[in-house]
Amino acid sequence: MVTGATAGIGAAFARRLAEEGYHLVLVARDDQRLAETAAELTTRYGITVGTLPADLATDEGCATVEKRLADASEPVDVLVNNAGISLNRSFVRSTVEDESRLLRLNVHAVLRLTLAALPGMTERGHGAVINVSSVAGFGPVMPGSTYSASKAWVTNFSESVAQSVRPSGVRVMALCPGYTRTEFHDRAGINMSKTPEWMWLRADDVVRDALRDLDRDRMVSVPDWKYKLVVFGLRHAPGRLWRAVARDTRGRTGRAEG
C-alpha cells in the first residue's frame, strides 16, 4: 500500500514496487488520478492494483484505510506512508485550521496507519513500513515552519517503533530525502527557482536508495551523499552554524522544504 501514490515519491514507489511484482493498493484524494495511475501500472506491469480514494487528514479517510490494512484476508506486506503537506507561511501568519490539517496528515495519519498495519505484520512474522520523513526533520532549519517539526516526529517515531518490532521480523524505516523533484513545492506555492540544480534529487533515485536501505535493515534512510553530509552537520555542528545556514537558505528560496 502506498499513500499519496499519484505523484512524486509516492508514484515512484508505486512504479518500483509494481516492477518488482507487488500487487498494489494506492491511496490518494483524487479519484480520477488514482484510476489513471492504477490503469497505467496494470497495463505496464501486469499486476493487480486496487484504489482507495481517501483524505488522510480526516478521521473518515484514515478509518477507510485502516479497515483495509486490518483485513487479514488480503494482508498488506509493505506500507509506504508518503502523503504529506507543507504550508507556505510562517506559524504566526497561519491558522489553526491549516496547522491542524498539516499535523493530521503528516503526523496523525502516519501514526494511525502504522498502528493499523503492524499487528498483522508482527503476527505473520514479516512486513515493512516506510514512513516518508525529510532531512528538514533533523533540525529547525526552516524558521517559522511547523513542517520540520512534523517530520522530526515521523523520524523519531519510526526509529522507536522499529526497535520494538524488529524481534518479530518486521521492519520500520524513516525515509528522509532532501529536495526532490515532485509536485510538493508547487502545491504548497513555494518558489524554489533559486535552489541550485545540484541540490535536487530524482524521485526514482530516492525510492531506489530507500528500498536498498530497507533491505539492509536500516531504521533511517537518507538518500544521496550530499544529504548524508547535511544530516551529519545538523546532528553535530554547533547550533549557531546551522542557524546561519537556515537564514541563508530562507533568503534564497523563501522557505526551505526537504
Name the active-site residue from 45, 147, 179, 227: 147
CA distances from 100 to 88, 95, 96, 147 (A): 15, 8, 6, 12
In the DSSP assignment, the letter for residue 243 is H
- Is 18:45 a contact under the CB 8 Å cutoff? yes
Q: Compute the 3-state secondary structure of the chain and give helix, strand, coil in percent, each to the nearest 5.
A: 55, 10, 30
> How far is 165 from 29, CA to CA, in rounded Å?
30
Q: Which of 151, 179, 226, 228 is catalytic?
A: 151
Q: 257 and 89 in contact (C-beta within 8 Å)?
A: no
Contacts of 257 (CB under 8 A, 6+ apart): 86, 134, 136, 142, 147, 179, 184, 185, 188, 190, 192
Instruction: Please indicate whether residue 226 is annotated as part of the active site.
Output: no
Catalytic annotation on 45?
A: no
Q: Is 162 helix (H, G, I), strand (E, B) or coil?
A: helix
Nearest CA to 84 out of 106, 62, 101, 64 is that of 106
Provide the annotated active-site residues: 147, 151
